[in-house]
A and B are shown apart, each in its own frame.
Chain A
Amino acid sequence: MTINTLAKGGSVFIILIVAMQDPDMGMKMRNQRLLITVIPMVKGVEFLLWFLTEALHVGDMLVRYGYIYPLKEPRSYTRWPASELDYAIYLAKKNIRKQGERWNMKGYSLLHKRINHTWDFVVMQAREQLRASKQRRKADRIVLECQEQAYWLINRPPVRSLSSLLCVHLCFRPFCLQIETSKRALGRNRVKSSICLESFTKYSEQYQNHDPIMQGCLPSNPWISDDTAHWTMNSEMVPVPTRLRVERWSFSFMELLNDVMGRKEFMTYLEKEFSAENLCFWQACEDIRHGESSKIIEKVEEVYKNFLAPGAARWVNIDSKTMDKTLEGIKHPHRFVMDDAQMHIYFLMKKDSYPRYLKSELYKNMLAKAIVPQETKKSVFPFMRRQRHASPSPAQAASQTPPEGGRAKGAGQAGTNSAAGSNA
């Protein structure tokens, strides 16, 4: 007497018992006589073996169907159809929240590799959903989370047919990227080594006097002498700059613009030449490029109004092709919309105004006026250490005046030790 037929609505255990007795796939059954009845019997060892093989098979299927993620997965295994962004978002949410536990990390990173191109979207969506869920009541939130978890456990699709589209995401992508990069690189223009390398020797030679490690600095290296005079003399805005500094403005246009004082001098020169709008335009474009994302639209508007609109107060002279392209781009403003126009004006200044500035009286006077600090004589008692004074932190300067980069004020001015820590 035994259960050997599958009645409708049988439980899992009944299914197993019936399967066990299957003449083809089941266990080897024997009959045991017990008094007048015959009971089906199976050897213990065989029972275990049967169960083991079935369990292995179940495990295998769990992996194939994606319920379990193998650690070292051969690429041609489980697939995520490209449309399973929702699942990716769900995983992203779980990982954002549980920072300590790495939930389903391997599956997550595999998925990441496969749909890399939309990953930013996935992360953004996940964050948004988390933010939105925080608005809900805690009880609702827990219920929704459980529902979501259950949904994904059941509804993650099993392996279907392997479409080539999915495979491209999997293992082909790194090779495709490499091939693209190589093809682009092959199309590059290259310069002969002799020309490139010559530029290094020229550069080093030109800057040698300006390199404190190579040539020392005047009046003295602050780190050696504990005297901050060198920094004071070279701070952003000084009445009279040092000679080395002014010389450096002649090395390249970039050097001139990078120095706050140099830029101001150049602006003064341009005003005399009635072409100051070029530098203003360039500065406004830099501001757009490096500023906050939220302010881009209003800044682009401002620039258009002041520099590009027909009849604008400070109209810049750009060639018509660039102008058309820029005006088109302004309709959908983004961070780089001014790039072409900015580049055009930059090279205009570099090729035209800059060389003339270097030949101008303004520059020559500045160079003549510039000071050459006296080298501090080494003190008679070299082991007597000067007092090292603190300087106002750039962070403090920012709260009082608009941030302009840090300043190192010299000894004597900073009597207050603004540091929060202890002296060495």
Chain B
Amino acid sequence: MNPFISPLIPEMATQEVQLNETLAHLKTESETLKSKLEEERAKLHDVELHQVAEKVEGLGQFVMKTRRTLKGHGNKVLCMDWCKDKRRIVSSSQDGKVIVWDAFTTNKEHAVTMPCTWVMACAYAPSGCAVACGGLDNKCSVYPLSLDKNENLAAKKKSVAMHTNYLSACSFTNSDMQILTSSGDGTCALWDVESGQLLQSFHGHAADVLCLDLAPSETGNTFVSGGCDKKANVWDMRSGQCIQSFETHESDINSVRYYPSGDAFASGSDDATCRLYDLRADREVAIYSKESIIFGVSSVDFSLSGRLLFGGYNDYTINVWDVLKGTRVSILFGHENRVSTLRVSPDGTAFCTGSWDHTLRVRAICSLI
């Protein structure tokens, strides 16, 4: 006598079969639509970028030097962001510290210790009065910056975003009042800073979302995100819908950045390539790779004119690519461990890289031969 046998098992079996059939049907429909989309995209592809760029003058040799080295983090630097004043920087590291520097003088202006380790995301507010950061605590917190030396910044902390997995990236939108976040739970979300309310959530990635970037467009309504499902998705912030999707990378996409005009974006991935996607042509238009480069790209950014693409790699180097011609212009050394984050300054005068070697380096061009 066994009192626990469920009488429902035979029923479950037949229904299970039905479900599996429907699932298979959905899968095939999805695949068919995807290949149809690729066909449509290929129809309008009549020329390659480097062909169009043949008439453009080539670039000479660059000499870029490290002009500032910011030391002070006790562990791997994971993320950094520039302030709109073109000289201040916020950076976060694995030991839970978030530091605000005046990179020009290399002074540390503020320091906050987060209650968690691995602070993977940090962002400077457009006004320069606050910073946002988060990581393994699954939250994004905003700290208003106070110049009162006695004030404990952590006391004024405001918890804004709340995810069910780690926070991978965050960014303020055009004002201090809204934050866009991406998380390891596969979603992105838009939050109101003042109330902590969720304004919009974005579902569509099938795995962790690792990066995001806001579009510099006139209407200011879209952003792009990249994830571990190898997809880069463009979203409409207002409706929460995914308007475009690109899946050509062969591995996790670690970084996405818009081209300055907003008509395209670049992505860097663990497959050791950077790729350029045009939003109007709706396809990938360039791949920046070399056989000798086998380590993944952690971070990418454009120079002000969009002619150069800087990529920070896991083999401790920075490769500088000619966006139009597709060739590598320069390779920069200096870090003693992998480059985890890279951003060009708001006025394009320099770019800063953060690395697992605990330092940040600000580089500027010394001469163009």
Given contacts A179-B33, A186-B40, contact A171 B23 (CB under 8 A): yes
Tell me the chain A residues, 373-424 only, with Cβ under 8 Å from chain B: 388-391, 393-399, 403-408, 417-424
- Interface size for chain A: under 10, 10 to 19, 20 to 34, or 35 or more residues? 35 or more
Q: Is A352 an interface residue (CB 8 A)?
A: no
Q: In the complex, which residues of chain A have a beta carbon less than 8 angstroms from the beta carbon of B46?
A: 192-194
Q: Is B357 an interface residue (CB 8 A)?
A: no
Q: Is A101 an interface residue (CB 8 A)?
A: no
Q: Is A25 an interface residue (CB 8 A)?
A: yes
Tell me the chain B residues, 1-40 only, with Cβ under 8 Å from chain A: 1-4, 6, 8, 11-12, 15-16, 19-20, 22-23, 26-27, 29-30, 33-34, 36-37, 40
Chain A residue at minimal CB-CB distance from B346 = A406
- Complex Cα spacing A394 to B87, Å: 11
Min Cβ gap B13→A in Å is 10
Q: Is B109 an interface residue (CB 8 A)?
A: yes
Q: Is there contact, CB below 8 Å, between A204 and B56? A: yes
Given contacts A19-B2, A214-B368, A390-B105, contact A190 B280 (CB under 8 A): yes
Q: Is B113 an interface residue (CB 8 A)?
A: no
- Complex Cα spacing A390 to B107, Å: 9
Given contacts A19-B1, A228-B104, A231-B87, contact A197 B6 (CB under 8 A): no
Q: Is there contact, CB below 8 Å, between A193 and B281? A: yes
Q: Is A52 an interface residue (CB 8 A)?
A: no
Chain B, interface SS category: loop
Q: Is A99 an interface residue (CB 8 A)?
A: yes
- Complex Cα spacing A159 to B46, Å: 56
| 0 or 1 for each of B166-200: is its CB under 8 Å from A? (1 = yes) | 00000001111110000001000000111101110
Chain A residue at minimal CB-CB distance from B41 = A190
Within the complex, which residue of A195, A346, A393 is in contact with B145, where a contact is CB–CB below 8 Å?
A393
- Complex Cα spacing A411 to B231, Å: 47
Q: Is A112 an interface residue (CB 8 A)?
A: yes
Min Cβ gap A20→B in Å is 10
Q: Is there contact, CB below 8 Å, between A182 and B34? A: yes
Q: In the complex, which residues of chain B have a beta carbon less than 8 angstroms from the beta carbon of A397?
A: 128
The segment from B73-81, B256-264, B287-295, B331-339 that touches chain A is B256-264
- Complex Cα spacing A145 to B44, Å: 62
| 0 or 1 for each of A209-235: is its CB under 8 Å from B? (1 = yes) | 011111011000111100010110010
Q: Is A294 an interface residue (CB 8 A)?
A: yes
Q: Is there contact, CB below 8 Å, between B30 and A182? A: yes
Q: Is there contact, CB below 8 Å, between A201 and B102? A: no
Q: Is A68 an interface residue (CB 8 A)?
A: no
- Complex Cα spacing A161 to B177, Å: 47
Q: Is there contact, CB below 8 Å, between A222 and B349? A: yes
Q: In the complex, which residues of chain A have a beta carbon less than 8 angstroms from the beta carbon of B37?
A: 182, 185-186
Q: In the complex, which residues of chain A have a beta carbon less than 8 angstroms from the beta carbon of B26?
A: 172, 175-176, 179
Q: Is there contact, CB below 8 Å, between B8 and A172? A: no
Q: Is there contact, CB below 8 Å, between A204 and B52? A: no
Q: Is B362 an interface residue (CB 8 A)?
A: yes
Q: Is there contact, CB below 8 Å, between A190 and B40? A: yes
What are 12 A-B residue pairs whose CB atoms fall within 8 Å in the complex?
A: A108-B164, A120-B198, A164-B19, A176-B26, A177-B242, A193-B44, A213-B308, A393-B102, A394-B84, A394-B85, A405-B128, A420-B109
Q: Which 8 A-B pairs have the closest CB atoms?
A: A394-B128, A406-B85, A421-B108, A419-B107, A424-B106, A207-B305, A211-B305, A182-B33
